[in-house]
Structure 1
Amino acid sequence: MSQNNTGGKCPVMHGANSTENRNVMNWWPEGLNLDILHQHDRKTNPLGENYDYREEVKNLDFGAIKKDLHAFMTDSQDWWPADWGHYGGLMIRMAWHSAGTYRIADGRGGGGTGNQRFAPINSWPDNVSLDKARRLLWPIKKKYGNKISWADLIIMAGTVAYESMGLPSYGFSFGREDIWHPEKDTYWGAEKEWLAPSDERYEDVEKPDTMENPLAAVQMGLIYVNPEGVNGKPDPLKTAEQVRVTFARMAMDDEETAALTAGGHTVGKCHGNGDADALGAEPEAADVEEQGMGWSNPNMKGKASRAVTSGIEGAWTTHPTKFDMGYFDLLFGYEWELKKSPAGAWQWEPIDMKEEDKPVDASDPSVRHNPIMTDADMAMKMDTKYRAICEKFMADPEYFKDCFARAWFKLTHRDLGPKARYIGPEVPAEDLIWQDPVPAGSTDYCEEVVKEKIAKSGLSIGDMVSTAWDSARTYRGSDMRGGANGARIRLAPQKDWEGNEPVRLAKVLKVYKQISTDTGASVADVIVLAGSVGIEQAAKAAGYNVRVPFLKGRGDATDEMTDAESFEPLEPVADAFRNWLKKDYVVKPEELLLDRAQLMGLTAPEMTVLVGGMRMLGTNHAGTKQGMFTDREGQLTNDFFVNLTDMGHTWKPAGNNLYEIRDRKTDQVKWTASRVDLVFGSNSILRAYAEVYAQDDNQEKFVKDFVAAWTKVMNADRFDLQK
């Protein structure tokens, strides 16, 4: 008799490929999760390692795809009919909600990666029906294939939608490269349920500026604010304050916020003509027969006017497919009262409106309905600051159109990075301050002469390397801001940041400015080149002759080119690479290390080798000795890893974020360390990397890997060198 009888049991392991299966972090939730450093592994990309989207898109027939998008707007499909036969409102909402996830605090979110296709964003309550918008665009994506990313197509569709409705475009750039896996490690909030009360995000919900950083949206699953009011309770003045803070955290001032609100609601409509409880599950929870779409509506029956999304029902203007001044005409031309939509949501409706001012039904032009306003719309009328801006717009319609077009461009391009990354025939010629412009730097100088002057300046290796690092570490790949190019470390606010050691920095910059004057090299180039000099000196002292690769041409930005306020969020609150914490945080120091490393685009091995190397170079903030496991400071050795992994030592807590490394035999203290130092020995993955660099046969590899990782950081923002 066969011994392989399974007794009817399934021969595969249940849950192995589902969220039910417990993984390492389920078993040990306090462990350090390195996944954020690997979230866009090349193995997830089906287009292969040789595919370069930013080169491929240059072969796109820009005119043809734009023509197709214009035609698409009024080609209503039976399976998802367009409001008034025009998809403009839906496409604008899709683009807006893609770009609108951006927040300035960490630069994450935004429309630059096509992340709206994946969970959790594809299933947020605020994104109901946007799965249909993307599916409607599929024939165009299919036609142009690899020459257009989903990220670009989504944003382009919204921009073309406005053009088709009568708003001249300020401009558009291609260049957004798709991701192929959800950004699961982006922090969208701690809530465990959709649309949990916004109180959970605030120290005091009555004070919107107490919202938890880096968040911008007021509730889990929303893009901005609750359209019904704070926690669903209408109060336009309270909503106005939430709107102000939320949009500020998305890099918008009051005028841009008012323009975006009015311009966004000049076209399209809200959908709530039905029972919201009758909708099916969201895309990630829907069964396979739904084919990736969610919120199935059994009562829609092929009628655009029967759609349910936000639950609010109605258009804002008389002519929702035209970009005009209708929003202001109705908002300020009538008095408004609170009512409930068919889906039970709070909305504002006009009192005694003329029949001809009412928009027609989205499916039946013989029927007219009241327009609506959300609580945020009423805030534009009732808040004194927003009202004054709206009155200015009403007095000058052309000014309003220009303000909105510029704000829309900023909204949809804020995370694309500097203008050097822009691609296509409609890139505006104007330099905008939010693009962090940097003038071209000189390359007409002798690199060796500059290096010689730096070497003779009397600056220490620690000063040279620390200053270069502090200048470059501001770079974040989330929105391509910061970095060494521009040398903004010498300008406000960066020159005064505590993490940059302002007194020490001022002395170093004084030396660099003189070298710049004497040689013609920009201060930005001198800063980076000095870091190279320090590393080369340290490597030579360790017995290795290396040359740190260097690229000339960085420019020096001016105060006039710098939006100091928008740079404030880039201030580091910790720098584990220099063993510094501004203060104690709820988040562990090693988690702050991972966050910074991911923003800088570092892999786990690159992060590891940089920390170990910088400890040896004497770069610790304020000259502290934590983590300097060596008696050869200033030499680029692998001593950090050798002594960390040496079992002749013991490791003992000695205070807040302070540990002692003692000789196991004598119990004498040899060195001190922080949590960040010791995590490279305690975390199993990081220890595996540390052991590689501690090996006797990998001392030279350590030096080479350090130089490579260092060079990557210094050149991360050299978009001026892109083809």
Structure 2
Amino acid sequence: MKDHAATQGACPFRGTRIGGAQGSEPGLDHWWPNRLKVELLYQDPPQANPLGRDFDYADANAWIDHDQLWEDVRAFLHKPVEWWPSDYGHYGPQMNRMSWHSAGTYRIADGRGGAGEGMQRFAPINSWWDNGNTDKSRRLLAPIKAKYGAGLSWADLIALAGTVALEDMGLPLQGFAFGREDAWSADTGTYWGPEGWFGKAPTEQPADPQAGHPDQMVNRGLRWQGGPKDQHYDLENPLGASHQSLIYVDPEGPGGNGDPMDAARDIRETFARMAMNDEETVALVAGGHAFGKSHGAVPADKIGGAPEIAKMSEMGLGWANPVGEGNAENTMTNGIEGSWTPNPTRWDNDYLTNLFKYEWKQTKSPAGSLQWTPTDPDAPKTPDAHLPGVEHPLMMMTTDLAFKVDPDYRKVCERFLEDFDYFTEAFSKAWHKLMHRDLGPTARWLGPRQGGTFLWQDPVPEVDHPLVDDAQVADLKARVLETGLAHGDLIAVAWASASTYRDSDKRGGANGARVRLAPQRGWAVNDPARLDRVIDALEGVKADFEGEGEAKISLADLIVLAGCAGVEAAAQAGGHDVTVPFVPGRTDASDEWTDAESFDWLKPVVDGFRNYVDEAVGYHVSPEGIALDKACLLKLTAPEWAALTGGLRVLDQNWDGSKDGVFTDRPGVLSADFFRVLTDTDLVWRPETGEERRFTLERRDGGGATWTATRLDLVFGANAELRQIAELYAGADGEGYFMRAFVKAWHKVMMLDRFDAKEARKAALSDC
């Protein structure tokens, strides 16, 4: 009672001090670090969006004058403001860096990151030291954002500013597409690496360098490397940087070691993780370093905290600099000082020319960071960015020297040196890919200057034929069922086709029917033998149907339609008369339109819906944690996740035909049996090993073993939040709730990639 009384009237925000940093009191994650964070399914909730549920960004963006917007950004680049003057009288290089760092968080392993939602505005990304002073770039653009209001998202403006800047400085563009809708709250689920770790070598190897982390990733990402003379951490997949708080790699070399060959290794790895090959990597770096300068005029220990811990009076700006005016010639960003070329606001080939023409020696910036300067005193100079008549030696980073010493990178550089037009086109295309990699299919792209179509966009053909009507859909369902294919086979192939979708970068899904192409057709989780059998039969149905009239149906549509027919038949077998919605309009991609290597990144390592775990992968996160991650990527709510998993279990959809989690005496019948067994208090779960990977259910009265299960099954009874849903579906009136949830969630997954069917997709994605 004494303790209770002492807390009455106390501030509810006990971890925050006015005028200071947040306190360190233990929270929920401290006490229960391995709990399954089901709340990750509800990030950026609609309640956070002040525009409301009915706001349509495409409609709002269509009303703005895109040509005038382009010119407004161009004019801004040439009008320095007093509180943050532009280098060389041109904001182009500064905007270029901001855009690059926004898009450069993209990682191909799980599609997260990128420019798509403007996440550079929020923690933790807005406060990474590698994003130093990007807060100033966004604040400089605030008047343009205010002019165009809701019709111009921050995400689009951040990407646009650097793109217009490149064009203004002389680079021909491939185009630019709008369509990036803003998030309205921080991304608290994506794991970028251990916060506070900057890649410097520790003095001792930690006791458990690969300890698990439950947040949205395949493994924690810490890999211990080397012996006593070579100790450093690298971040593993899916992480897209060599260490946390960086966009790519340490410009001074791994751990600040100044070794260009080590830097080349990290560059190749990190750029590959963001879907760039060697040529694209060199084009982006050499192209980007043709402009602007690096800033290291002031030691880091003089600079204030990042935006998230800055003083209230700074109004969201961080990295306060007490030296001089805190900007211009006294700017501190990454600690390296100087420019790569004599003409930092003009597109030319001077970066590569200087890199290869001169020898370079290590030196230190005023801030104490390692950098390189020409050994030849007659090498060109670069003008001071702010002081008239002052010149400086050229500068290179360790990561720049990497392109000179790595033999494969050197070959690319030499080709660019020999053919500047080729280099120009390569940089223009690589920039376009960088800015648009996570924007999704062209059906999402907005604006008048979108540019061409590229393989990395995962293109599908346009619809060029009449679509089937309701009567023809019913006829096709009957024809599919008459093939004699098992309902479970139809369901399995439709799920394999659609469930590749990931909302992070809008890749995958049923449109294109790439499940019939390499590499997806050979994935073990898709049961290739069954896949071949079903696709062959459906191709026969398609040929017979199209031979009888003008209407046509793609195999992509027919795969989904067949799955819907299978679900309806399975529900009817259990006494439920349901209709699964179907929206035609998908088309079939070809091998020529498919980047097989890129699509292999969509292969699941854990698929909780089909009870699949790739045992060849070493896991530091529980299978259920990765299954939750997939539910996030499918935009599922917790009830939808539970309903789909439980439904697919009783539909006998385990990838290998096992009976783990198939808690029913009626396999193949859609029912709530999974949840009834899962929540039966007369059953006891016995782990087969101490690791608790598989379990046997036994009756408390000693009646013997009844069922087997995996962690991917039991999580819906063991997790407190998921158990509430399971108990609802298991109740006397629960099967109706379950059936509606399953059908709606099934339709939702089938429609996730249907950006071409805007209203139908919106209806399918409405809350369960």
> Which interval holds the TM-score relative to the shorter structure?
over 0.9
Residue 506 of structure 2 aligns with which residue? Answer: 480
Distance 2:386 2:243 in 1: 32
TM score, norm. by length of structure 1: 0.96
Change (3 A) 1:324 1:582: same
Residue 536 of structure 1 aligns with which residue? Answer: 568
Distance 1:210 1:667 in 2: 52
Shift of 1:551: 1.1
1:209-235 CA-to-partner distances (Å, cap 9, x unmatched) read 985110120011000111011211111
Shift of 1:57: 1.1
What secondary structure, in the 3-state scheme, does the structure 2 residue paired with 1:673 have? strand
Residue 34 of structure 2 aligns with which residue? Answer: 30
Say if 1:54 and 1:177, in contact at 8 Å, map to a contact too. no
Change (3 A) 1:634 1:616: same
Distance 2:25 2:156 in 1: 36
1:534-564 CA-to-partner distances (Å, cap 9, x unmatched) read 1000111111111110111211111100111
What secondary structure, in the 3-state scheme, does the structure 2 residue paired with 1:144 have? helix
Say if 1:35 and 1:185, in contact at 8 Å, map to a contact too. no
Residue 386 of structure 2 aligns with which residue? Answer: 363
Distance 2:131 2:512 in 1: 38
Change (3 A) 1:316 1:707: same
1:397-451 CA-to-partner distances (Å, cap 9, x unmatched) read 11111110110000010000111111001011x2200000111355444323321
Say if 1:360 and 1:368, in contact at 8 Å, map to a contact too. yes
Shift of 1:573: 0.9
The reply on whether 1:658 has 2:694 as its aligned counterpart is yes
What secondary structure, in the 3-state scheme, does the structure 1 residue paired with 2:636 have? coil
The reply on whether 1:667 has 2:699 as its aligned counterpart is no
Residue 167 (structure 1) aligned to one of 171, 192, 198? 171
The reply on whether 1:519 has 2:553 as its aligned counterpart is no
Change (3 A) 1:304 1:208: same
Say if 1:340 and 1:347, in contact at 8 Å, map to a contact too. yes
Change (3 A) 1:118 1:210: closer
1:478-537 CA-to-partner distances (Å, cap 9, x unmatched) read 000001111111111111111111222222222122222222422211211111011000
Say if 1:83 and 1:363, in contact at 8 Å, map to a contact too. yes
Change (3 A) 1:562 1:514: same
Change (3 A) 1:289 1:544: same
The reply on whether 1:131 has 2:135 as its aligned counterpart is yes
Residue 304 of structure 2 aligns with which residue? Answer: 280
Distance 2:259 2:200 in 1: 19
Say if 1:88 and 1:162, in contact at 8 Å, map to a contact too. yes
Change (3 A) 1:578 1:437: same
1:243-273 CA-to-partner distances (Å, cap 9, x unmatched) read 1111111101111111101100000100001
What secondary structure, in the 3-state scheme, does the structure 1 residue paired with 2:684 have? strand
Shift of 1:331: 1.3
Residue 529 (structure 2) aligned to one of 486, 503, 522? 503
Show the 5 A alignment for 1:553-572.
553-572=585-604
Show the 5 A alignment for 1:283-322.
283-301=307-325, 303-322=327-346
The reply on whether 1:470 has 2:496 as its aligned counterpart is yes
Distance 2:415 2:7 in 1: 75
What secondary structure, in the 3-state scheme, does the structure 2 residue paired with 1:281 have? coil
Residue 642 (structure 1) aligned to one of 676, 685, 688? 676
Say if 1:417 and 1:481, in contact at 8 Å, map to a contact too. yes
1:280-322 CA-to-partner distances (Å, cap 9, x unmatched) read 1111111211111111111142651210111100011100011
Residue 55 of structure 1 aligns with which residue? Answer: 59
Distance 1:196 1:702 in 2: 51
What secondary structure, in the 3-state scheme, does the structure 1 residue paired with 2:256 have? coil
Say if 1:300 and 1:307, in contact at 8 Å, map to a contact too. no
What secondary structure, in the 3-state scheme, does the structure 2 residue paired with 1:405 have? helix
User: Larger deviation: 601-610 or 669-678?
Assistant: 669-678
Residue 693 of structure 1 aligns with which residue? Answer: 729
Say if 2:199 and 2:254, in contact at 8 Å, map to a contact too. no
Residue 366 of structure 2 aligns with which residue? Answer: 342
Distance 1:208 1:495 in 2: 40
Say if 2:235 and 2:241, in contact at 8 Å, map to a contact too. no
Say if 2:201 and 2:232, in contact at 8 Å, map to a contact too. no
Show the 5 A alignment for 1:543-692.
543-583=575-615, 585-655=619-689, 657-692=693-728
Distance 2:257 2:34 in 1: 38
Shift of 1:601: 1.0
Shift of 1:700: 1.9
Shift of 1:74: 1.3
Shift of 1:12: 2.9
The reply on whether 1:114 has 2:146 as its aligned counterpart is no
Distance 1:592 1:524 in 2: 28
What secondary structure, in the 3-state scheme, does the structure 2 residue paired with 1:662 have? strand
Say if 1:272 and 1:307, in contact at 8 Å, map to a contact too. yes
What secondary structure, in the 3-state scheme, does the structure 1 residue paired with 2:391 have? coil
Change (3 A) 1:639 1:406: same
1:143-167 CA-to-partner distances (Å, cap 9, x unmatched) read 1111111100000000011111111
Residue 45 (structure 1) aligned to one of 36, 42, 49? 49
Residue 479 of structure 2 aligns with which residue? Answer: 453
Distance 1:48 1:19 in 2: 34
Residue 155 of structure 1 aligns with which residue? Answer: 159
Change (3 A) 1:278 1:203: closer
Say if 1:497 and 1:571, in contact at 8 Å, map to a contact too. yes
Change (3 A) 1:60 1:393: same
How many residue pairs end up in the alignment?
718
Letter in 1 for 2:346: K
Shift of 1:11: 4.0
Distance 1:189 1:78 in 2: 37
Letter in 1 for 2:11: V
Distance 1:96 1:129 in 2: 13
Distance 2:231 2:15 in 1: 45
What secondary structure, in the 3-state scheme, does the structure 2 residue paired with 1:475 have? coil
Residue 431 (structure 1) aligned to one of 453, 456, 459? 453
The reply on whether 1:491 has 2:517 as its aligned counterpart is yes
What secondary structure, in the 3-state scheme, does the structure 1 residue paired with 2:40 have? helix
TM score, norm. by length of structure 2: 0.90
What secondary structure, in the 3-state scheme, does the structure 1 residue paired with 2:382 have? coil
Letter in 2 for 1:86: H
Say if 2:611 and 2:654, in contact at 8 Å, map to a contact too. yes
Residue 71 of structure 2 aligns with which residue? Answer: 67
Letter in 2 for 1:508: V
Letter in 2 for 1:680: F
Residue 3 of structure 1 aligns with which residue? Answer: none
Show the 5 A alignment for 1:226-241.
226-241=250-265
Distance 2:23 2:630 in 1: 28
Shift of 1:195: 4.1
What stretches of structure 2 of length at least 5 have no aligned partner? 17-21, 210-221, 547-552, 760-768
Distance 2:195 2:122 in 1: 19
Distance 1:538 1:207 in 2: 57
What stretches of structure 1 of length at least 5 have no aligned partner? 1-5
What is the percent sequence identity of the aligned residues?
Answer: 49
Residue 383 of structure 1 aligns with which residue? Answer: 406
Say if 1:303 and 1:363, in contact at 8 Å, map to a contact too. no
